[in-house]
Amino acid sequence: MRIYILDKMKKKELEIILQKVPEYENPIPALEQYITPAGIAADIIFIAYQFGDIKDKVVIDLGCGTGIFSIGAAIAGAKEVYGVDIDNNSIKIAKRYANKINKKINFINQDVKDVKINCDTVIMNPPFGAQKSDRKADRKFIEKGFEIASVLYSIHLSKTVPFIEKMVSSMKGKISYSKDYVFPIKYIYEFHKKRVVNYDVTMLRIVTKT
């Protein structure tokens, strides 16, 4: 199936496909394994496509989980897609689904900090830093993105955006676009007390070489 994401109808079609990306089988709390909602993932892929950052580009999904951004980028016409995650079980799930829908994606079981592959675009949903053991987890994702890509699409808690802005500025980058979303996280861990908790998040398009 070849999809050109040029209007709302096609974006909805992508969202329907991404809704079928498998969830984590045994999510690990310390890694903050929450799948990005299909509607948000489809919208970000659509935005990146419109900016010219996906079609015929090399795209890396850092912390890919079960592969929702990797799958989206492949469908949207990326020249080559890499999905990187430290959790081997997630990589296995992602590979299985990519094979099922006949999408060629290079999934790699590796810590983000060890990635050496250069690319055009990074698309990622790094950990929000909700766990005490990994409060600043998103920093290493941004730092790695600056090392390997020309542009990043990254999701962060809206309340942390001022910090991210300072970090990006200190690294001589620029935030060229942002969009706010409500990110629902369902009850999946024992310490969760509500069926669903909504978080205000912001997607940032970060240009690393200005």
Is 35 part of any domain?
A: yes
CATH number, domain of 84, equals 3.40.50.150
Q: What is the pLDDT of residue 69?
A: 97
Angle at 43 between CA 37 and CA 48, to 5 degrees: 125
The boundaries of the domain holding residue 19 are: 8-207
The residues, ordered by sequence, that sit 6+ positions from 6 with a Cβ below 8 Å of its Cβ are none
Per DSSP (E only), the strands in 42-120 are 58-62, 80-85, 106-109
Is 3 part of any domain?
A: no
Does residue 40 sit in helix, strand or coil?
Answer: helix
Is 142 part of any domain?
A: yes
Q: Provide the total of helices (H) and of strands (E) in the chain, helices listed first.
A: 6, 7
Per the structure, the count of domains in the chain is 1
Is 19 part of any domain?
A: yes
Is 54 part of any domain?
A: yes
129 burial via Cβ count (<10 Å: 0-12, 13-18, 19+): middle
Is 30 part of any domain?
A: yes
Q: What is the pLDDT of residue 30?
A: 58
93 burial via Cβ count (<10 Å: 0-12, 13-18, 19+): buried
The residues, ordered by sequence, that sit 6+ positions from 28 with a Cβ below 8 Å of its Cβ are 87
Q: What is the pLDDT of residue 145?
A: 97
**Contact of 82 with 122, CB cutoff 8 Å:** no
Q: What is the pLDDT of residue 8?
A: 63
Q: Which residue has the tokens 């920093």?
A: 139
| pLDDT values of the chain reduced to their tens digit, one per residue, 210 residues | 455 565 665 888 999 999 999 987 676 555 566 889 999 999 999 999 999 999 999 999 999 999 999 999 999 999 999 999 999 999 999 999 999 999 999 999 999 999 999 999 999 999 876 544 455 778 899 999 999 999 999 999 999 999 999 999 999 999 999 999 999 876 554 544 556 888 899 999 999 986
Is 57 part of any domain?
A: yes
Q: What is the pLDDT of residue 35?
A: 85
Q: What is the pLDDT of residue 10?
A: 83
